[in-house]
Chain A
């Protein structure tokens, strides 16, 4: 079975940092584009970032560029999101989601259960 498990969420003060991880199993991680999507409490889905299968190409939504960094470790089938200078409006559940091999057809066909990030003083 395909599994994605996020971890690393929690409470952080405004201006602080947090690193999320997404461990995966059940598929060949290195063959897939990977993504982060977030959902603020009671709100809709918002694309955060995508990283190519090799890790050579990374893209971010406008709200996250310069503050967030996405990386991956194909040897350990893991995806990461380093979040800096966090704001209260970043409070959300963060999901990792699997994409296809090619980023130009990047819909999200498997999702983790999400990890909650709360930014508050």
Chain B
């Protein structure tokens, strides 16, 4: 099983500043990695797939990079609605054994 580890667990950032969230895989793979945003009481929302492709309707301030074992989600200028929990997920394994990171809580500083 590929274990996904996100850091930090909690990130405190001021609105307008940049946030950088990390996701590390226990085994390397290519770019089959997705990022999701979840707000309290809501379902997750797909932000990024293929490590770097924004999903439909996702603002350009969200960007994803990475390959192998190290992946990053960057939010360039935080808006009030961006404060949420973010999860990474690998979908590389076959047969499917998808795994999520434990989440990073992005909070207002």
Question: Interface of A with B (CB < 8 Å)?
Answer: 37, 44-47, 50, 59, 61-62, 95, 103-114
Contact B43 A47 (CB under 8 A): no
Describe B's contact surface by its main secondary structure.
Answer: loop
Q: Which of B48-107 contact A (CB under 8 A)?
A: 49, 55-56, 87, 89, 91, 94-103
Contact B43 A95 (CB under 8 A): yes
Contact B44 A59 (CB under 8 A): no
- Of the residues B46, B56, B101, contact of A107 by C-beta under 8 Å: B46
Chain B residue nearest in CB terms to A49: B96
Tally of contact residues, B, Cβ under 8 A? 26
Specify which chain B residues have a CB less than 8 angstroms from the CB of A107 in the assembled complex: 32, 34, 46, 49, 89, 91
Output the least CB separation between A96 and chain B (Å).
Answer: 10
Contact B43 A45 (CB under 8 A): no
- Please tell me if B29 contacts chain A, counting CB pairs below 8 Å: no
Given A44-B102, A107-B89: A112 touches B55 (CB 8 Å cut-off): no
- Of the residues A106, A111, A112, A114, contact of B98 by C-beta under 8 Å: A106
Contact B36 A45 (CB under 8 A): yes
Specify which chain B residues have a CB less than 8 angstroms from the CB of A45 in the assembled complex: 36, 38, 44, 87, 89, 100, 103
Chain B residue nearest in CB terms to A50: B96
Q: How far is the CA of A106 from the CA of B36 in the complex (A)?
A: 14
Output the least CB separation between B99 and chain A (Å).
Answer: 7
Contact A47 B100 (CB under 8 A): yes
Chain A residue nearest in CB terms to B101: A44
Q: Which of A45, A50, A104 has the most CB of B within 10 A?
A: A45
Contact A109 B43 (CB under 8 A): no
- Please tell me if B18 contacts chain A, counting CB pairs below 8 Å: no
Specify which chain A residues have a CB less than 8 angstroms from the CB of B55 in the assembled complex: 109
Specify which chain A residues have a CB less than 8 angstroms from the CB of B39 in the assembled complex: none
User: Would you give 15 A-B contacts (Cβ < 8 Å), ordered by A?
Assistant: A44-B102, A45-B87, A47-B98, A59-B95, A62-B97, A95-B44, A104-B94, A105-B32, A105-B91, A107-B89, A109-B46, A109-B49, A109-B55, A109-B56, A110-B46
